A and B are shown apart, each in its own frame.
Chain A
Amino acid sequence: MAKGVWIVAEQRNGALRGVSFEIASVARKLADELGEEVCAVLVGSGVEGFAPELAKYGVDKVYVADDAMFADYTTDAYSEAVAKVVKENDASILLLSASVQGKDLSSRLVGKLATGMASDCTDVKIADGKLLAIRPMYAGKCFGEIVVESYPQMASLRPKVFAAVENAKAGAVVKFDAGIAADSLKTKVLETQKDASGKVDLTEADIIVSGGRGMKGPDEYKIIEELADVLGAAVGASRAAVDAGWRPQSDQVGQTGKVVSPNLYIACGISGAIQHLAGMSSSKYIVAINKDAEAPIFAKADYGIVDDLFKIVPEVTAAAKKIL
């Protein structure tokens, strides 16, 4: 009988990533409803010491595969290790983050475990003893409620949508041997090119200031960057701005860009086409600044100013400077 709510913790550059605590907290909530345990799988090199942090967020047991071959994430090594321990323990539910690594690893695990998964979920609950996962589909034009019939029931959770909630448990370490020959791995990381220093990735940012077609050109983004500086925010862009060459692809928020879930999303000169909304509608608060009162973004915004962004944005920066 499949039992236990399992998560795959994510670590990089010598620390657990915040998404690990988000998914641990969700697992804890589901496990308490089912009267089961939360188990985390932690794969890496020199990572055993991270177990107490996972314990803080409700993890009962931490299954650790610690080896030099896991120093860099590779799909092959990590998926084999996780699949082995999850199968041996007949997990009932398996959760990962829908982070970049989580998407790659969870999807490979669907294959290895021959199971089903709800990807990029914005809500999960227990219904009739089974996992019910809720996720956007068709760029968020509708939502699907997914039930996985096979075990483990897998779901990947959209980053920054679920809160990390402290709930101290034992976090007992159980070391396991993944049984992988290091020379059997078929991919390797040749190089890591870090983004410009000090730049927070959009998917990890708490606040994002974003500019769209209304910005008119690349130089005009200076006012967006100044506001972002004062707020400690990351800078985003709509597809129009990226396709026009004003901002890099990595700044694009939307259906063919990044999906972001910040606490605050300030959209400047962005009309709010459905494809853009697909990338930021999980934001907790949305502000729209646009001179077109009919712009669809205003229907989604919590606060809106219908005015010329070139007049408003510098004033917002000035007002923010006064109070922050």
Chain B
Amino acid sequence: MNIVACIKQVPDTEAFIKVKADGSGIEEGGIKWVMNPYDEYGVEAALKLKEANGGEVTVVSLGPARIMETIRTALAMGADKGVHITIDGADAYNTAAALAAAIKEINPDVVFCGQRAIDDDSGQVGSVLAEILGIPQITIVTGFEVAGGKVKAIKPIEGAQLVIESSMPCVVTAQKGLNEPRYASLPGIMKAKKKPVDMKDAAALGISVEPKAKIARMTPPPSRAPGKIIEGDDPAAKAAELVKLLREEAKVI
């Protein structure tokens, strides 16, 4: 089987994010960069699929020079090859177009993506990629298997879980709960250094970097009005006061 996992390098979730003074972006100095947590579930699913069916796992990633470290992490987990597409900055459509150009050549059976990246939190690329590749998608899945030449996935919706079947090839986007991503072993890390990583340039792939969705400005989050601490020693009295405030002041119960 040919299996692809798309990965993105993002700031660690603990990272202190500071908006630049002119609102044009975030300060990148001092940030710890990691593999997008949702992409880890995708890489793990790809590796499990290869272990069950044989074949090859290629990880594909877009970004500047620093993302090589994240590609090596995926290779250390067990992926066989990497593709590093350099691009200056792209919105969801152009990112998906660049990924599609590289992925088409691989002719995969399944493409895994994380359900969203925890930096922009947009969640669009997996679906746009599927559209550009002309293949079906199942997004935000917590269960996955291949049986009888079809993909079967579990997709939570509001109040229920769907079991969805798809023909292959298809794109599947991974949600927390899909699996437990493995840690890279020391032998894995050593082997990863020798695995091939193909370098491609987005412009050379014919991908426009002119975004369709532009971030006009970034701002700190809106502040909330300071709250009220209900004081006192008697739990019953404090609880009663809280209920009264929720009923009469906030009017939410």
Using CB atoms and an 8 Å cutoff, list the residues of chain A in contact with chain B.
75-76, 79, 99-101, 103-104, 106-108, 110-112, 114-120, 132, 135-150, 186-195, 199-201, 203-204, 206-207, 231, 249-250, 252, 255-257, 263-264, 274-275, 281, 284-287, 298, 300-308, 311-312, 315-316, 318-320, 322-324
Contacts and interface: CB of A to CB of B under 8 A. Distances in A.
Given A186-B166, A187-B136, A318-B239, A138 B130 contact: no
A contact face: mostly helix, strand, loop, or mixed: mixed
**A100, A199, A206 — most chain B CB neighbours (10 Å):** A100
B26 interface: yes
B93 interface: yes
Contacts of A146: 213-216
Nearest to A206: B252
A100 B157 contact: yes
Interface residues of B, number: 82
Contacts of B213: 116-118, 146-149
Nearest to B217: A145
Interface string B149-188: 0001001111111111111001000001100000000000
A101 B157 CA distance: 8
A318 B239 CA distance: 9
Q: Which 6 pairs across A and B sit closest by C-beta, in order of nearness?
A: A111-B131, A116-B213, A116-B212, A107-B127, A315-B239, A111-B128
A318 B235 CA distance: 11
B227 interface: yes
Interface of B: 11, 13-14, 17, 19, 26, 37-38, 91-93, 96, 118-124, 126-132, 135-140, 142, 152, 155-167, 170, 176-177, 211-222, 224-225, 227-230, 235-236, 238-240, 242-247, 250, 252-253
B26 A138 contact: yes
Nearest to B247: A323
Contacts of B124: 106-107, 110, 117, 119
B170 A312 contact: no
A144 B17 contact: no
Contacts of A201: 158-159
A312 B232 CA distance: 12
30 contacts: A75-B127, A104-B127, A104-B139, A108-B130, A108-B137, A110-B128, A111-B129, A111-B132, A114-B93, A142-B219, A142-B220, A143-B220, A143-B221, A147-B216, A186-B167, A187-B137, A187-B164, A188-B164, A189-B164, A190-B163, A192-B163, A199-B159, A207-B252, A231-B253, A285-B250, A302-B250, A303-B229, A315-B235, A318-B239, A323-B247
Nearest to A262: B252
Given A111-B131, A147-B214, A186-B136, A142 B26 contact: yes
